[in-house]
Amino acid sequence: MSEFLALVDLASERFGGMVEYANDEFFAEKENLLTAAEPVSDPARYTDHGKWMDGWESRRRRTPGHDFCIVRLGLPGVIRGVVVDTSFFTGNFPEACSIDAANLAGSPPVDELTSDAIAWTTILPRTTLAGNSHNLFEIADGHRYTHLRFHIYPDGGVARLRVHGLPVPNWRRLLAHGRTLDLVAAANGGRALGANDSHYGAPDNMVLPGRGIHMGDGWETRRRRGPGNDWTIFQLAAEGVVDLVEVDTCHFKGNYPDRCTVEVIRAPAATFEELSRPETAWTPLLSMTSLRPHTLHAFDDELVEAGPVTHARLSIFPDGGISRFHVFGRVTEAAREGLMIDWLNGLSLTEALPVFGRCCGSARWATDLAIARPFDGKAALLEASRTIMDGLDREDWLEAFAAHPPIGGGENGAQDAVASRWSEHEQAGAHTASDDVLEQLVEVNFAYAEKFEYTYIVCATGQTAEAMLELARARMDNEPGEELKVAAGEQRKITELRLLRLLAP
């Protein structure tokens, strides 16, 4: 069994996945492709177009070419594997398929998705399919994607498309303002690692959005006939401090658990097998607590302070069913940096260029840094930046300098609104300067530009206007070649500070 099957289906309709377009859906509608339920067969059912099939099916092609559809993932993320399910398609399945992917901002309209403006990346080359089968394909690409283009050759029908992977939300937005998040929600990257028993329902259901649809849309164990209890272990989306726990027994009335406990642990690299061992040192978060049928239970004051944690274990006594499980908390400062690196790595090239461009106005630097992704941490990001800067020439540096407003006030250069705010913050020391000092800064800026033919560049963070004025006067004595090196050094400092700002939502 492929390991990727244990990961969430990023395309699921439960998360808002949608087939945006299909060039042909004559026999069966494109929407069926992402239906959460498993496909079924009804041999006696026919429609005006022919035999009813539970999937997406195009007409028999009589002209050159092939059929395709475009899927918007419900959860943007890194794809680890896909299942092309041709169940019940025997004489009418495609002979092959391929998949392209793209990471797009917002929700582009269909006319844009089908145009040549989209830069698609092939993540599954043309591959032979088997009929009436679950065709499993591992995906090695490690980038974040939001949309897929699913090709079938030349025509035919597919029952379901499952896209398993790791959700990568927009962490910069989610972490803004110290928000409280559901740390086990699948939409945020949390997941159920496994359970000791899942006879009637999978533990993955507990981290789905919304309340349960019915009793089968939760985790339920078999009836226990001996001592002991049942449990599920969850991996949090990121290390966090827990503020609130919710245990929902929605739809479980005659089979809800009598009691439950919640324990937590900080073990970032631990596997399910390691966490399942009896000797594993779990920390109590919620002591033994009675549950009620068909009820959403919320616990906050009942929780014990446990500090930063990475995993949670929900234990039910003695057995029964849970519809949903939520663990709300705040991501720790230590975890934020890694999540922001994930965010940077997941940006499309088109999205990444303006983000990096706020840190340095050199288009070459921004492009080369975006191409150098993915980074495995802050150190790798900064090292890549330094290496690229070592290769910049005079024109690149001048382009970078031109993006900055003059020290003490003036036009904002070639910066966007975000970078302009950063410049304002960096030059805070000049905001409280006297009129006399500001006039002198204007004069020295003019003289500097006259001599060196570019804006006076200094890393202004933490510096007073008087100090920056003194530095400018001292640097006026430099030769042009020497001063270019000095200005480039200041640009390096500014760039590194701004890269660090990117990692701090």
Distance in angstroms (rounded) separating the CA atoms of residues 213 and 253: 14
Rounded to an integer, the average pLDDT of 152-169 is 95
pLDDT at 303 exceeding the cut of 80: yes
The CA-atom distances, in angstroms, between 456 and each of 14, 135, 196, 366, 470 are 55, 61, 66, 22, 12
pLDDT at 37 exceeding the cut of 60: yes
Residue that has been written with the tokens 């000049």 in this structure:
430
pLDDT at 194 exceeding the cut of 70: yes
Rounded to an integer, the average pLDDT of 201-230 is 95
pLDDT tens for each residue of 4-26: 998 999 999 999 999 999 999 99
Per-residue pLDDT, 318: 97
Rounded to an integer, the average pLDDT of 114-127 is 94
Count Cα neighbours of 279 within 13 Å in the Cβ-side half-sphere: 1
The answer to whether domain 3-166 and domain 172-331 are alike in fold is yes
Buried b (16+ CB within 10 A) or exposed e, 191-205: bbbbbebbebbbbbb
Q: Could you give the residue ranges of the DSSP H alpha helices within 376-479? A: 378-390, 394-401, 417-426, 428-431, 435-452, 465-475
At residue 427 the predicted structure's pLDDT band, cuts being 50, 70 and 90, is low
Distance in angstroms (rounded) separating the CA atoms of residues 477 and 474: 6
At residue 420 the predicted structure's pLDDT band, cuts being 50, 70 and 90, is low
pTM of the model as a whole: 0.81
Per-residue pLDDT, 492: 96
Query: How close are the terminal C-alpha atoms of the chain, in Å?
Result: 39
Q: What percent of the chain has pLDDT over 90?
A: 73
Question: H/E element holding 148?
Answer: strand 144-153
Sign of the alpha-carbon dihedral angle for 377, 486, 466, 432:
negative
Per-residue pLDDT, 419: 56
At residue 434 the predicted structure's pLDDT band, cuts being 50, 70 and 90, is confident
Nearest to 498 by CA among 387, 396, 419, 414: 419
pLDDT tens for each residue of 370-385: 999 999 999 999 999 9
Q: Provide the CATH topology of domain 172-331.
A: Jelly Rolls (2.60.120)
**Which of 20-29, 39-48, 213-222, 288-297 is least confident?**
39-48
Per-residue pLDDT, 408: 60
The CATH superfamily holding the domain 347-502 is Oxo-4-hydroxy-4-carboxy-5-ureidoimidazoline decarboxylase (1.10.3330.10)
Residue that has been written with the tokens 């899942």 in this structure:
198
pLDDT tens for each residue of 464-502: 888 888 888 999 999 999 999 999 999 999 999 999 988
Instruction: State which CATH number among 2.60.120.260, 1.10.150.120, 1.10.600.10, 3.40.50.740 fits the domain covering 3-166.
Output: 2.60.120.260
Domains of the chain: which residue ranges?
3-166, 172-331, 347-502
More confident residue, 48 or 329: 329
Distance in angstroms (rounded) separating the CA atoms of residues 482 and 293: 77
At residue 411 the predicted structure's pLDDT band, cuts being 50, 70 and 90, is low
Q: Which tokens belong to 454? A: 């570019």
At residue 247 the predicted structure's pLDDT band, cuts being 50, 70 and 90, is very high
Residues 71/20, Cβ–Cβ less than 8 Å: yes
